[in-house]
Amino acid sequence: MKGSEEDAGLAGKVALVSGGGAAGDGIGNGRAAAILLARAGVKVLVADRDLGLAERTVAMITAEGGVAAAHAGDVTSEADCGRLVDAAVDRWGRLDFLDNNVGIGSRGSVVDEKPEEYRRVMQVNVESMFLLSKYAIPAMIKTAKGGAIVNISSISALRPRGLTTYTTSKAAVIGLTQAMAVDHGRDNIRVNCICPGPMYTPMVYARGMSEAARSQRANASVLKTEGTGWDVGHAVKFLLSNHARYITGQVLVVDGGVTLQGPERDSRDH
């Protein structure tokens, strides 16, 4: 049976990818998704707080013949979220997809965490997805008569290991995803969530990581290997495509089987 990118219903569509930059030429979840979507014929608005990082992603896409544009934006700002959605629609006349990637870590317990840090993590990890979706959904309905959204959570939401504020925020992303799926199914908008495991991405290795720590992370999975941003990016592409046309409100775990194992004690963020 012959398959093609056209079968996936991606070519000619428009996507907004938040957190689409990454340090240097590194491949984070957002950059991987942006590149893979562009390879499938999607026009991609790459958004990042650091315009230079978004521009590097766009350069990588255009070098392969893809179509993309970079925009700076702070997704904790309602005004910026509105501007990002408008930028995609103004440039290409429609918006079909939203990939919500932005997130930060936190390590404190409920006793140790400062209230202001709790509020900041919830703002970045949850409210940003709320705000971008708030503006993206009406644009999808108006310009494309539907669409699809993917939110990035974490396996920490499924198997808590401390990190109270981070875990709480990522669990909230799952709840947000499922509620949005119910609210907007009638609008022909699918909303799904990905829970990545220990991915070797610039956000992780920029803080420094020993080979021993990498080995520990790899051994936490039943496949005995680390994941990469490409693994998450391929999952995003699938969930946005027509191949997932009957999937909504679901949590796709991309972790190499980490959650099938016993408690994993690596303190680094997933």
Which candidate in 118, 135, 166, 205 is catalytic? Answer: 166
DSSP H or E run through 175: helix 164-184
The span from the CA of 256 to the CA of 242, in Å, is 25
- At which residue do the structure tokens 């026009």 appear? 43
Structure tokens at 80: 């910026």
Q: Let me know if 166 is a catalytic residue.
A: yes
The span from the CA of 155 to the CA of 98, in Å, is 21
> pLDDT at position 154, please?
97
> pLDDT at position 52, please?
97
When computed from its CA atoms, the radius of gyration of the chain, rounded to whole angstroms, is 18
Strands 189-196, 251-254: pairing kind? parallel
Reading the chain (270 residues) residue by residue, the pLDDT tens digits are: 334 565 699 999 999 999 999 988 999 999 999 999 999 999 999 999 999 999 999 999 999 999 999 999 999 999 999 999 999 999 999 999 999 999 999 988 999 999 999 999 999 999 999 999 999 999 999 999 999 999 999 999 999 988 999 999 999 999 999 999 999 999 999 999 999 998 888 777 766 677 888 888 888 899 999 999 999 999 999 999 999 999 999 999 999 999 998 664 443 444
The span from the CA of 207 to the CA of 230, in Å, is 20
Give the number of other Cβ atoms within 10 Å of residue 155's Cβ.
22
> pLDDT at position 6, please?
58
Cα separations in angstroms, 234 against 11, 15, 22: 16, 15, 17
Q: pTM, whole model, 2 decimals?
A: 0.93
> pLDDT at position 261, please?
85
Domain 14-256: assigned CATH number: 3.40.50.720
**221 three-class SS:** coil
**200 three-class SS:** coil
> pLDDT at position 162, please?
84
> pLDDT at position 2, please?
39
Side by side, which strands form the sheet with 68-72? 68-72, 43-48, 14-18, 97-100, 147-152, 189-196, 251-254
> pLDDT at position 3, please?
41
> pLDDT at position 10, please?
98
* φ/ψ of residue 210, rounded to 5: -75, 160
Domain boundaries, the chain: 14-256
Name the residue among 57, 265, 44 with its Cα closest to residue 156: 265
**168 three-class SS:** helix
- At which residue do the structure tokens 């709320």 appear? 130
